[in-house]
Structure 1
C-alpha cells in the first residue's frame, strides 16, 4: 500500500533569472527557471507534493508598521505557506518571522540605466587638455611675450639696436612659435635668443602632446558615463529613478544613516513591480531602476538576444553588496534540515550555478564598456564634431575684422588731417 505523500503550499513569483512565468501549450501558467529545477529536486527526494501560488501584491516582503509582513514573507508569517522560493536577502527583521536555508547566492544591487552612447562634442578639440592646462598655456603666452618685449627693449637701449614695433613683433612671434610656424623676426642679442630657445622647447612639448592626445581621442573615442554610482544618480535631475516594491533595498536605504542613501530613498519615484517589466522604459531613457546584478545581466541577455544590440547599462558601483540570498521556510519547519542537505549537494556539484549560467548566455556582450559598442575601426568625423574648430575659425575671423575696423577708424576718420598731409 502506497504511503500518501504530504502536501504543502509553496509561494513564489517571477524574478529573472531565478524564475519566469510561462504559458504552457495547454494554457497552464507555470513558473520555470533555476528555482523550479531546485524545487523539483526537493519534491522528488523529500517526497512531497505542493501547490505553487503567488502573493497578491507580488512582493517579496517588507514589514508594516503593525509588525505584519507583505508579500511572500507575509504568507510564511501567517502559516499560509511552508516554503517561499524568493530568493530572499537575509535580514534580521525577516529572520524573526521565518527560517532561512543555507545561502544560494551572494547578490548585489546596482542601478540599471539607458546605455550611454558615443555623442559628438562641439568642444572636443579642447578636451586633450584640462581647463587648468589651457589657462597655464595662456599665462605662458602672456608672460613670455611680455618678457620678450622687455628684454628686446632693454637690449636695444644697451647695444643701441633699434627695433620698431617691439610689442607687435614679440606677440606675433610667441603665437607663431606655439603653432609651430616659422617667424621672419628674431631678437638680435643673446638675452632675447635665450627666451626664443626656451619657448621653442616648451611649444614643442605643448603641441606634440596636444596633437598626440587629440589623435588618440579621435581614433579611440570613449563614451562619457554620467551615472556610474549612487552619488552620480542623486546629484542629477534629468533621469528619475524607481525601486522594486517589496525589495529588501527599500528598508536598507530608508534605515541607512548615509545621506546619499537617504536622498535615493526620498527622491525615488513610485515603486515598480519588476525591473524586467520596465526594460523598454529604461532603455528609452524614461527612468533608471535599482535592480539586482543578476537581474541586470538577465536584462542584457534578453536585450541582446532579441535585438542584437545593447540598450542597457548597469552601474559599476553597487548600491548594496553581497546580500545573502536564500529560500525561506516557516518557523521550525521540519523540511528545513533535509532541504539544506540537498541544497548543499546542488551547490557543491555545480548544478545550481549551471542552471543560473544557462539563463545568462548572451549577457557578456553587453557587459563591455560602452566605448566598445559597434566599433568598426576609425570613424569619420560628423559635422557636429567639426563645428567647434569652425566656430573658432569664425570667431577669429570676426575678431580680425573688428581689429581692422578699429584701425581704419583710427587712421582715416579720427586723424583725417594727418592722413591727407
Structure 2
C-alpha cells in the first residue's frame, strides 16, 4: 500500500486504544449499530486515527486491552497490554503514540516519531496557608541585618563621643544613658530633646529620624500587602525531596514501559525510586484508576504520579475543567526524553505509508494541535500560582508569630528582672 494509494472498498480495521488519550466518551446516532446508537470517543489519538482513516479510506473499531495497560515484557518472554495485542496480530495496529524503546522494537515496529515526550511527576498543591511570620517579610534578611548593624554602630559611636565630650561633667551618666534613646526613635516612641544637646548630637538624631521615618512607612505599607497574601505550598519541588520524605509515595501504571524503565535502573535517583516499591511506598495501578488515585492519594499531598507529559497535561486540563481550580502541579524534574510513534506488527504493510504520514504530522505540528484542541484547559494549570491575595479579617492564625515575639520578650525581661533583684 503506497502512501498515495487509498483502499477502494473501505475496509474496517481493529485498532488498540490507549485510554489515557481518550478525553471524552459520548453516544452518537448510528443506524448500523445495535439500538441505533454507538459509543464514540474524543481525544488526540482519535483525531490522529480520523486523519489516517480519511487519508487511506478505511473505518476502524477500537479494541481495549484486557488489562488496560500499554504493555510490558513478562518473565516468560510474552508481552501484556497493547504491545502484546499488536505483536500477536490481535489488532491491525495501535495509534498511541507510544514511546520508542529497544525492547518494544524487538517485537513490534514503531513508525516515524509523531511527538517527543518525557516522564514527569504530578503532585497535589497544599491548601492556602497564612505565614504567621509575615511581619518579617516586608524586608529581606539583608535589610534587617543592615538596620541592626547601623543601629549598633550609632550606639557605639554616640557612647564613645559622650565619653569624650562630657568628661568631668556632672550630667555624664544621664547623657550616656540618652545614647540608647536612639532605639526609641526606631520604635517610634516618645523622645525628649534637652537644651544641653550638642550640635553633632542633633545632626545624628535628625539623620536617624529621617531614616527611620522612611523605614517605618515602607514597612507598614509592605506589611499590609503581606498580610493579605496566602501561600499555596508545593509538598515536593523535585524528586529528591519525595525520596527523602519517608511518608511520600509514588504512583505509576502497572505493566507499562515506565514501570519497566524504573525497575531497570541500577544507580542514581531512579534506583532509589525503584527501591520505594520494596518499602511499600510505590503503588502500581491500572490506567482506569488514575483519576481516582488523584483524589485518593495525590491531592492529599503525600503521593506523586509519574507519567509522560502529554498524559499529565490531559489530567491537569480535565481536573481544571471539572473543579475550576488548579489543585495539581508538575515537579521540576523531567526524565527519559523519548520519541513516540504509532505501533504496527512486525513487517506490516502499514509501516511505510504510516511513516510518511507521521513525518508530515510531525513537521506541521498537528499532534500538538490535536492535544490542545481536545483539552479545553490544556495550559491552565501548567504553572499554577503559589500565592493568592485575599481580603478578609485577620485572625490569630495570621498574627501568632508576633505574639510569640511579644511573650518571648516578656519572658526575657522577667529573667533580667530576677537578676537585677538579686544583684
Match of 2:3 in 1: none
Does structure 2 retain, via aligned residues, the 8 Å contact 1:87–1:326? Answer: yes
Gaps of 5+ in 1: 415-421
- Match among 170, 175, 179 for residue 170 of structure 1: 179
Q: Which has the larger share of strand?
A: 2
Distance 1:206 1:277, change over 3 A: same
Match of 1:306 in 2: 322
Deviates more, 1:353-362 or 1:393-402: 393-402
Q: CA deviation at 1:387?
A: 2.1
Q: CA deviation at 1:15?
A: 0.8
1:68-106 C-alpha deviation (Å, 9 max, x unpaired): 433222333334433123221122332232222222222
Q: CA deviation at 1:134?
A: 4.5
Does structure 2 retain, via aligned residues, the 8 Å contact 1:8–1:82? Answer: yes
Q: CA deviation at 1:271?
A: 1.7
Deviates more, 1:206-215 or 1:85-94: 206-215
Count, aligned residues:
403
3-state SS in 1 of match to 2:282? coil
3-state SS in 2 of match to 1:234? helix
3-state SS in 1 of match to 2:171? coil
- The residue correspondences of 1:263-412 to structure 2 (distance < 5 A) are 263-267=272-276, 268-274=281-287, 275-281=290-296, 282-285=298-301, 287-315=303-331, 317-320=332-335, 322-344=337-359, 352-371=367-386, 375=389, 378-400=391-413, 403=416, 409=421
RMSD over equivalenced CA pairs, Å? 3.9
3-state SS in 2 of match to 1:271? strand
Q: CA deviation at 1:6?
A: 6.0
3-state SS in 1 of match to 2:400? helix
Q: CA deviation at 1:31?
A: 4.7
Does structure 1 retain, via aligned residues, the 8 Å contact 2:129–2:230? Answer: no
Distance 1:401 1:20, change over 3 A: same
Q: CA deviation at 1:354?
A: 4.2
TM normalised by structure 2 equals 0.77
TM normalised by structure 1 equals 0.77
Distance 1:132 1:41, change over 3 A: closer
3-state SS in 2 of match to 1:121? coil
How far apart in 1 are the matches of 2:65 and 2:271?
29
Q: CA deviation at 1:384?
A: 0.9
3-state SS in 1 of match to 2:173? coil
Gaps of 5+ in 2: 1-6, 30-34
Q: CA deviation at 1:307?
A: 2.7
Higher relative contact order (CA 8 A, sep 6+): 2
